[in-house]
A and B are shown apart, each in its own frame.
Chain A
């Protein structure tokens, strides 16, 4: 058969349908490549920007054990960022390009990281809810059709589940602590609940990339399916802690076998996605500052590596 575009596309789709992973050197539709670059780099950016809200509490963690747990977690996130940038680079983009897109605001990252961590309890809520939501998404992605992405997600998921347990444990210590601590935990849940549900993206009907991503098996479940799974898993966890989910419409639906829940504030969602969240400016400023102020260090490392290579050649 001749390698016309139509034939290549048909072969590609057949491979996807047969659950054969696509690898960097395989032919792939340009749009598939672009979608993956966008998604994987956004995912990587989320890990990096996500270091900031939690990093905010490292110097103030209330016990040494918690300080260590938080440091280890944020370090893991940096590592996840590295895996994901590497996965994106197999698609022909560069880390520098991705950083530029992040710093200029062209590339997005998860909207959740535009919310501030106001109290120590937020660190628990972020681990429990935000990592919990991320895991729903990421477990699905371990079966994504693009091999390097799927493999990165396998490694990342192992660490993420540990982070989520850690976050839940922090929240549990507070929920079982003094009335002041319990109030702190409830307040954090109140502020993080809806933003966590927003992490799954727009409703299926409004999700622009969904259909194609499902056909290409980049996505294996829809936004609403994942969101429902998250609510179903998380409500009993909150109940166990004696905390209340801030949603008056939340109710078990016997017929569906799922929880019904209230409407998300989509106006807020789009505002945050478009840069108008409480911390969008601060997060980007912090990233830009680190990148700009670190330029001389990166240049020094490059210059030194060149000098070394030169010396080795001459010896």
Chain B
């Protein structure tokens, strides 16, 4: 695999995680449990789609085929999307959304912190700019895990169930493949094994404070990075891409 090809693939994965999760979280807009959570979730969605834009712009530049951020977002089909399965999972109830967000935010925060030491200057710049927002997400979702876990009996149960439901998708965050290996070797990418303990430590501490039980590590559902998604993904894309598919090649 060429360096450029691997870099394109690598940046695309980071971008797709942000884009698809941002899309999911944006579905909450106007429907949150309180005005404050509505604003909070919309704000997070806004940050994530913002990250996706910068990353897709960079991916397009690396690819060098004249595609734009919008071409990459709206004109790729399922098999060319490289986000992890975790982020495409449906919102469910507020606890489902928070569980997904917490597991991803914890990863994403440490991932971007590590990325800011990359040899790739562009990625360093993106990481340094994003980390402020990611710090906010990192705090926000963890605090909600604690509130729900250590809130009422009902919220505790819902939070536990949400974690149990989504846990199998968390493992993929740390499954490195040849693209990860190549980027690590070049000093560009992040060592997933190095950030895993940071993720573990934080997740364990927050779950403990939230009086929740860490689900058992069992199966790892994976495939997103290779474009092998869950059935959820097609529906996300059908909705997200509809305008560009129906009215191709226009300026909006």
Chain A interface (Cβ < 8 Å from any Cβ of B): 48, 51-52, 55, 58-68, 71-72, 74-75, 78-79, 81-82, 85, 120, 170, 173-174, 177-178, 180-181, 286, 289-290, 293-304, 307
**Shortest distance between the CB of B19 and any CB in chain A (Å):** 8
Cβ of B165 < 8 Å from any Cβ of A? no
A293 and B93 contact, CB distance less than 8 A: yes
State which of B37-45, B119-127, B186-194, B218-226 sits at the interface with chain A.
B37-45
B147 touches A304 (CB 8 A): yes
Contact of B152 among A51, A286, A290, A296 (CB under 8 A): A296
A268 CA to B74 CA, complexed, in Å: 39
B128 to nearest A CB, angstroms? 20
Cα–Cα distance between A181 and B249 once the two chains are bound (Å) = 12
Contact of A294 with B69 in the complex, beta carbons under 8 Å: no
Other-chain contact of B33, A55, A170, A293 (Cβ < 8 Å): A293
Closest B residue, CB atoms, query A292: B33
Residues of B within 8 A of A51 (CB): 29-30, 38
Residues of A contacting B242 with CB < 8 Å?
Answer: 60
Instruction: Verify B33–A62 contact, CB threshold 8 A.
Output: no
Q: Which chain B residue has the least Cβ–Cβ distance from A302? A: B151
Q: How many interface residues does B have (CB within 8 Å)?
A: 48
Which residue of B29, B53, B240 contacts A55 across the interface (Cβ within 8 Å)?
Answer: B29
Question: A78 contacts B250, CB within 8 Å?
Answer: no
In the complex the two chains form, is A72's CB within 8 Å of B29's CB?
no
Contact residues of B with A, CB < 8 Å?
Answer: 19, 23, 26-27, 29-39, 42-43, 45-46, 49-50, 52-53, 56, 69-70, 73-74, 93-94, 146-148, 150-152, 154-155, 158, 239-240, 242-244, 247, 250-252
Residue numbers in A under 8 Å from B243 (CB-CB): 60-62, 120
Q: A63-B70, A297-B155 are in contact. Are A286 and B31 (CB under 8 A)?
A: yes
**Complex contact A71–B239 (CB within 8 A):** no
Instruction: Given A75-B42, A178-B250, decide whether A298 and B239 contact each other with a Cβ distance below 8 A.
Output: no
Q: How far is the CA of A174 from the CA of B74 in the complex (A)?
A: 19
- Asked whether, in the complex, the Cβ of A64 is within 8 Å of the Cβ of B152, the reply is no
Residue of B whose beta carbon sits closest to that of A72: B46
4 additional A-B residue pairs with CB within 8 Å, beyond A63-B74, A296-B154, A300-B155? A59-B27, A78-B42, A177-B252, A290-B38
Q: Is A78 touching B39 in the complex (CB atoms < 8 A)?
A: yes
The CA-CA distance from A65 to B242 in the complex, in Å, is: 16
Determine how close the nearest CB of chain A comes to the CB of B48; give it in whole angstroms.
10
Pick the contact of A64: B53, B94, B150 (CB < 8 A): B53
A64-B56, A82-B35, A85-B35 known; A75+B151 contact, CB < 8 A = no
A307–B45 touching, CB < 8 Å: no
In the bound complex, CA of A1 to CA of B240 (Å): 69
Jot down 12 A-B pairs with beta carbons below 8 A, ordered by A. A59-B26, A71-B29, A82-B35, A174-B252, A178-B247, A290-B31, A290-B33, A295-B33, A297-B155, A298-B34, A301-B151, A303-B152
Chain B residues contacting A177 (CB-CB under 8 Å) are 250-252
Cβ-defined contact, A68 with B50, below 8 A: yes
With A59-B26, A60-B242, A62-B252: A289-B31 Cβ-Cβ less than 8 Å: yes
- Could you tell me the distance in whole angstroms from the C-beta of A178 to the nearest C-beta in chain B? 6
Q: Do B93 and A62 have beta carbons less than 8 Å apart?
A: no
> A58 to B29, Cβ gap below 8 A?
yes
> Does the CB pair B247–A181 fall under 8 Å?
yes
Residues of the A chain whose Cβ atoms lie less than 8 Å from the Cβ of B247: 62, 178, 180-181
A200 to B212, CA, bound (A): 53
Contact assessment for A75 and B43 in the assembled complex, using a CB-CB cutoff below 8 Å: yes
B252–A66 touching, CB < 8 Å = yes
Distance in angstroms between the alpha carbons of A68 and B50 in the assembled complex: 7
The answer to whether B32 and A64 touch across the interface, beta carbons within 8 angstroms, is no
| 3 A-B pairs closest in CB distance | A294-B33, A300-B151, A300-B155
Chain B positions within 8 Å of A78 at CB level: 35, 38-39, 42
State the Cβ distance, B115 to closest chain A Cβ, in Å.
21
Complex Cα distance, B203 from A17, in Å, reads 61
Collect the chain B residues with CB atoms within 8 Å of residue A85's CB: 35
Measured CA separation A79–B29 after assembly (Å): 13
Do A181 and B33 touch (CB < 8 A)? no
Known A64-B49, A297-B155, A304-B151; contact A75-B39, beta-carbon cutoff 8 A? yes
Distance, CA A294 to CA B93, complexed state (A): 9
Measured between alpha carbons, how far is A181 from B154 in the docked complex, in Å? 49
The distance in angstroms between the C-alpha atoms of A64 and B27, with both chains bound, is 15
How far apart are B191's CB and chain A's nearest CB, in angstroms?
Answer: 30
Distance to closest chain A CB from B144 (angstroms): 9
Chain B residues with Cβ below 8 Å from A55 are 29-31
* Residues of A close to B69: CB separation below 8 A: 64
Pair B26/A71 contact, Cβ less than 8 Å? yes
